[in-house]
Amino acid sequence: MKAETLLLAVGIEAGYGRVQVLWGIDLAVLERETVVLLGANGAGKTTLLKTLLGLVPAWRGAVRFLGEEVTAWRTDHRVRRGMAYMSETAVFPGMTIEENLLIGGQFLSGSALRRRTGELYAIFPALGERKRALASSLSGGQRKMLGIAKALAGDPRLLVMDEPSAGLSPLFVKEVIRVLEQFRSRGLTLLVAEQNVKFLELADRVYTLEGGRIGFAGTVAAMHENDALKRAYFGLK
């Protein structure tokens, strides 16, 4: 059976004021796929993710999610429909662990939210042990775990993540990848913007973003066969 296209972006152009950042982006994420969007600082990754979520308006082009055109939808409507977004900062530091999860799952009914937070505390026991601690009291790595739990609290179909590795030690990067692998095996669909090629371990497909344009789109294996990409992203001669 052919996998359903969960997210489809066609011809996306966007920017800030008069400055255009994205130039005709086409991108698709299929159901249960993990797609990594690889790009250097300033390539436009955050802008693209925010445009997909409706946090930055698209100047031109269309975004479709679960078969519906959502280009003009407000962000909260997209989230209710099943999108979740984890920004680089990921959590509200002045709120407790529990409050962060309740905000992440705010569109669920009371009983569904209780069930979901229970599941998440079972997956992240370190969070469950300290529900009333402020997020600001957590280490960088634990905060990132809370960010993932918060983004997943609403039980989304698609998790869109902006640089989950930012500010993390290599050990925690490994831990984040391990946790995402777990959710992926339970059927979660992921779109992850990263500079860290370690995340390609998770990827079914890769897009590279260069100066606001898609450079390469394909499998990780195809990327490895391309010498120019290998030099640019893996530092190989």
19 binds ligand ATP (CB under 6 A): yes
Between strands 68-69 and 60-65, the pairing is antiparallel
Q: Which is nearer to ligand ATP, 11 or 118 (CB)?
A: 11
The closest alpha carbon to 145, from 109, 183, 108, belongs to 183
Q: Which stretch binds ligand ATP (CB under 6 A): 42-50, 75-83, 119-127, 180-188?
A: 42-50
- Nearest residue (CB) to ligand ATP, 45 versus 143: 45
Q: Which CB sits closer to ligand ATP, 39 or 54?
A: 39
- Tokens in use for 19? 């400055």
Residue 100 to residue 105: CA distance in whole angstroms = 9
By CB under 6 A, is residue 16 in contact with ligand ATP? Answer: yes
Q: Kindly state whether residue 47 participates in binding ligand ATP, applying the rule CB under 6 A.
A: yes
The answer to whether residue 171 forms part of the interface with ligand ATP (CB under 6 A) is: no
Q: How far is the CB of 97 from ligand ATP (least distance, A)?
A: 26
**Site membership for ligand ATP, residue 45 (CB under 6 A):** yes
Q: Least distance in Å: CB of 19 to ligand ATP? A: 6
Nearer to ligand ATP among residue 34 and residue 196 (C-beta): 196
* Burial of 157: CB neighbours in 10 Å, binned 0-12, 13-18, 19+: middle
Piece of the chain touching ligand ATP by CB under 6 A; list 25-33, 40-48, 64-72, 75-83 = 40-48
Could you say whether residue 42 binds ligand ATP (CB under 6 A)?
yes
CB of 195 to ligand ATP, least distance (A): 6
Q: Which stretch binds ligand ATP (CB under 6 A): 16-24, 74-82, 178-186, 222-230?
A: 16-24
Binding of residue 41 to ligand ATP (CB under 6 A) = yes
Round to whole Å and give the CA distance between 211 and 40. 9
CA distances in angstroms from 73 to 57, 76, 105, 111, 204, listed in the order given: 10, 8, 19, 27, 28
3-class DSSP assignment, residue 129: coil
List contacts with ligand ATP (CB under 6 A). Answer: 16, 19, 21, 39, 41-47
